[in-house]
């Protein structure tokens, strides 16, 4: 890359988004790009990253960097590629992840390992490599997409909720450690109208393959992205986003836990009887 082009990129905010090929990650990448940021698009599916780049308002202000977050031995090289191309990383948004739904009794340890590998270890592996660069510069912003299930757990979400709770613990601890000019934000969505349940795993390792009704009725990812970016620009440490049901559920869980779990026992998960 020419020094002139790198200088042009360095004049912009450089935002690296993992899980950028769909859903929340895609929406956040598009919103930041529309606001003038230079976007690094990462996910496993390069063809989908090409589609997303083509749909950006300013596609010239983006680079594609294929990434499988479970290939931990490649993370150093991926970070180096971003720095070589952009000269810096102002913001990291960790959005890559997978959903899971099944009863605890149907869930083997191998599934817990797989979900944790993607949703927890794959997430923090990138943060651990980007953090020293931000500490060296004395500033930066790390944002992580978690879930309402990272705050409370309901039926048939044990593997997913465990990973998301882990992310809350990790990033809350990190926030307490880093200098003031390095911001750590947790984005905690409820139901968002994405394809997350299409790729949801069950205890047999099969995919659901359909949209859940709750997600179809959820907030549009574009609307979510606009709200979230506004809050991120204000350096909010914790961003809840979703409908009344999710927000009310968190309130009841925190204030009246006995009542919350009495209600939770009576609710049937939407998609558990599938092979």
Q: Which residues contact 58 (CB under 8 A, 6 or more apart)?
A: 33, 34, 36
CATH number at 78 reads 3.40.50.720
Q: Pick from 192-196, 221-225, 245-249 the range whose average pLDDT is largest.
A: 221-225
Per-residue model confidence (pLDDT) at position 200: 80
Per-residue model confidence (pLDDT) at position 1: 57
Q: Which residues are catalytic?
A: 160
Q: CB of 75 within 8 A of CB of 126? A: yes
Burial (CB count <10 Å: 0-12, 13-18, 19+), residue 47: exposed
pLDDT (mean) for 89-99: 95
Per-residue model confidence (pLDDT) at position 17: 98
Alpha-carbon distance values, 3 to 6, 8, 62, 169 (Å): 5, 9, 17, 41
User: Taking 80 as the threshold, does the pLDDT of residue 143 lie above it?
Assistant: yes
Q: Token pair for residue 32? A: 């930041």
User: Taking 90 as the threshold, does the pLDDT of residue 127 lie above it?
Assistant: yes
State the DSSP string of 39-57.
EEEE-S-HHHHHHHHHHSS
Determine phi and psi for 8, rounding to 5 degrees: -65, -40
Q: Token pair for residue 270? A: 């939407």
Reported as a pLDDT band with limits 50, 70 and 90, residue 270 is low
pLDDT (mean) for 13-20: 97
Least confident of 88-102, 243-257, 259-273: 259-273
Least confident of 16-20, 141-145, 172-176, 245-249: 245-249
Domain count for the chain: 1
Print the domain residue range for 164: 3-266
User: Taking 70 as the threshold, does the pLDDT of residue 85 lie above it?
Assistant: yes
Reported as a pLDDT band with limits 50, 70 and 90, residue 203 is confident
Lookup result for tokens 């026992």: 265
Task: For residue 274, tell me if it sits in a domain.
Answer: no
Share of the chain above pLDDT 90, in %: 64
**What digits encode the pLDDT tens for the residues 26-79?**
999 999 999 999 999 999 999 999 999 999 999 999 999 999 999 999 999 999
Please give the Cα distance from 29 to 33 (Å, whole number).
6
Least Cα distance to 198 among 99, 70, 68 occurs for 99
Least confident of 212-216, 218-222, 271-275: 271-275
Task: For residue 273, tell me if it sits in a domain.
Answer: no
Per-residue model confidence (pLDDT) at position 214: 67
pLDDT (mean) for 113-121: 96
Share of the chain above pLDDT 70, in %: 92
Per-residue model confidence (pLDDT) at position 264: 77
Please give the Cα distance from 142 to 139 (Å, whole number).
10
**What digits encode the pLDDT tens for the residues 149-193?**
888 888 888 999 999 999 999 999 999 999 889 999 999 998 787
Burial (CB count <10 Å: 0-12, 13-18, 19+), residue 72: middle
Task: For residue 262, tell me if it sits in a domain.
Answer: yes
pLDDT (mean) for 105-130: 96
User: Taking 90 as the threshold, does the pLDDT of residue 227 lie above it?
Assistant: yes
């Amino acid at each position: 890359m020419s020094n002139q082009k790198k200088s042009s990129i360095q004049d912009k905010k450089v935002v690296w988004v993992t899980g950028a090929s769909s859903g929340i990650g895609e929406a956040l990448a598009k919103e930041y790009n529309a606001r003038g940021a230079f976007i690094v698009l990462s996910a496993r599916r390069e063809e989908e990253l090409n589609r997303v780049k083509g749909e950006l308002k300013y596609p010239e202000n983006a680079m594609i960097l294929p990434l499988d977050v479970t290939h931990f031995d490649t993370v150093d090289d991926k970070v180096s590629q971003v720095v070589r191309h952009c000269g810096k990383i102002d913001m990291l948004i960790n959005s890559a992840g997978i959903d899971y739904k099944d009863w605890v009794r149907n869930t083997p340890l191998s599934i817990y390992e797989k979900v944790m590998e993607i949703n927890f270890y794959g997430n923090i592996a990138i943060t651990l490599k980007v953090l020293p660069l931000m500490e060296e510069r004395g500033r930066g912003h790390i944002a992580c997409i978690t879930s309402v299930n990272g705050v409370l757990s309901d039926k048939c979400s044990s593997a997913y909720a465990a990973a998301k709770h882990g992310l809350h613990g990790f990033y809350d601890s990190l926030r307490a450690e880093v200098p003031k000019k390095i911001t750590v934000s947790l984005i905690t969505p409820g139901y968002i109208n994405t394809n997350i349940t299409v790729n949801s795993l069950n205890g047999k390792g099969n995919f659901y393959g359909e949209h859940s009704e709750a997600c179809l009725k959820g907030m549009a990812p574009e609307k979510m992205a606009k709200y979230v970016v506004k809050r991120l620009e204000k350096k909010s440490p914790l961003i809840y986003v979703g409908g009344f049901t999710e927000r009310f559920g968190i309130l009841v869980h925190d204030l009246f836990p006995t009542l919350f779990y009495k209600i939770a026992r009576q609710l049937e998960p939407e998609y558990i009887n599938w092979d």
